[in-house]
Structure 1
Amino acid sequence: MAKVAVLGAGSWGTALSIVLADNGHDVRLWTHRAEQAEEINETHRNNKYLDADLPEGIKASSDLEASVKGSEAVVFVVPTKAIREVAKKVDPFLEKEAIVIHATKGIEPKTMKRVSEMLNEELENYEYKEIIVLSGPSHAEEVAQRQPTTVTVSSLQIEHAVRAQNLFFNESFRVYTSNDIVGIELGGALKNIIALGAGVSDGLGYGDNAKAALITRGLAEIARLGTSLGANPLTFLGLPGVGDLIVTCTSVHSRNWRAGNLLGKGDKLEAVLEQMGMVVEGVRTTEAAYELARRQNIEMPIVDAIHQLLFEKRDAAEIVQQLMTRTKREEMDDFASILRKDQGK
């Protein structure tokens, strides 16, 4: 079986390591904290991030070179803000034939780059078309319990996606392939913004009607921006689109939902992020998506509202009222325009 380096020992990196170890692979789980690596190796637990016993096939290390050298696959699962730094350090140790996969859901503020674009810029020996993204509706807690989960792997070179599919596929972790890397990444990143909004809605005490509307209209916003950037609109009806949106907007496992819920109850952003103890990707992604929408001249009222809440200190209840009293319009106009853009390619 393959030697696989998983970079990032948070909840999702640990869960993916479990899948790989279950498949018989030799897994090197890298963390920048030596004490965390020691805990994992001695107790086969990663208690701060995931309540699960870890297979013997997972060996943790804080030595990046030792983790990556000789690996047939390298999986980036560090937060978006750490992608460039880790990629630069990893680059000298990557084997020429290794495949590079990332499972990080975010967009870089200021540059507005997707993670695959960031990796392409920092990894000298890898072309953009070779990079693989793994995304889909997948809570780490359920993956660790071997509950049925389905995800998608995407690359412009389908043979690379198939290699990743073969690495991860098993009876509880079903993996599909796609070549729409833009759509897969944007669906996984942008849904975190809508999940913040869903949490806010619940925190304010609103019911299922409000959340269903938020999810549906949020999907329209994601598809509008995604297709303007070259994504296939049908991708947003699949696992990395509506599937990931549903699971992230409706579950207490979701960091973004939990953060939004606290914001809806009146907590300040700084206090919420400190309380979460883990990265809430939706916050940084909101900043990036807000600017992307303006650059692309795309209307995204929900993203605008979340941006006002996070960065302009607006009141959550006032923002909901603002959304509810927008100008009247025809619902199908959005979806018709998305389809027209796709047919015009």
Structure 2
Amino acid sequence: MKITYTHAAISRIVTVIPNQKINNHDLPFDDKTKKKIIKMTGVETRHVLDEKTSLLPLYIQAAQEIFKTIDPQSIDAVIVVSQTPEYRLPTTANVLHGLLDLKKDALAFDINQGCSGYIYGLSQAFALLETASDIKRILLFDGDAISKISEPENKSTAFLFGDAASVTLCERTNDSKSYFVLKSDGHGYTNLIVPDGGIASPLCANSYEKQSDETGNTTSASTLYMNGTEIFNFTVEEVPSLLEEVYTLSNQTPEMIDVFCLHQANRFMLDFLADKMGIAHKTPINIDRYGNSSSVSIPLLICDMPEVCTRSHALLAGFGVGYSMSAALLDLSNTQTMLKGFEA
């Protein structure tokens, strides 16, 4: 799907990271294994939620920063993008709506989407701003705590994932063009999956039994399974053509784009993609300090490196779980950003 918007823009992004910092060199694996995986993923340190904290207080802290400059009652919609919701039901958006005491005629809903989710959420917000006359301001929350669903003995995931939460203030504008391309290939959904926990395969005692997979890696059906090879193949095959579609839609060339803010999947993949597409000099990377934070990796990157990312021609791209893909070219030159640690 290709979409052009002309009356929506991002005003502010606030990202909050947990205080608990993990050094991957300290994980309980042998030194040879740690050295190899850290080199491949590029992840030196990560921030993860502690056992007593969910994403909810991080969302609220981020929103309170937004409310220092605008009236909470001016918010017309709340959207939450996450694959680690606060509850199975109700939606996290409705929980936040109540805790933030927003007006009753503001709509609220969740989007269950991972690596490409931030751009999917932006597209939904921009579509509402473009078409609904009563909607002028939207809070787009984006957060994931993949560390909570990762097996700590699984070498494929234990080193990779960090947690974070963000909120993006989207507002109606008079003239601000943006270009979105959203795609999917659900044939590969089994390559990045938590097998048990849904109604297709409910949690049971066997879900928590640890097993060894074909590579000798520890896994369980209640935690995240990732076929890294297949995810890599999907990414390097599909992402270049995804960006080509954005170039065509926007009538832009890579040389005309200021910065490429890619989902921080892993360092090897990012380097390979950037080199293949000839954009390495325009592709900021911060996965070494925060890990792969799923869909929130893009707003985290923007808030962590605003001097690089807040440009007039910024191309954002997300890709991964569910074989979902998204990209957007938009103007971030007037976007204010903030990165904060969680204030417990």
Instruction: Assess same fold via TM > 0.5.
Output: no
TM-score, normalising length from structure 1? 0.30
TM-score, normalising length from structure 2? 0.30
Structure in which a larger fraction of residues adopt helix: 1
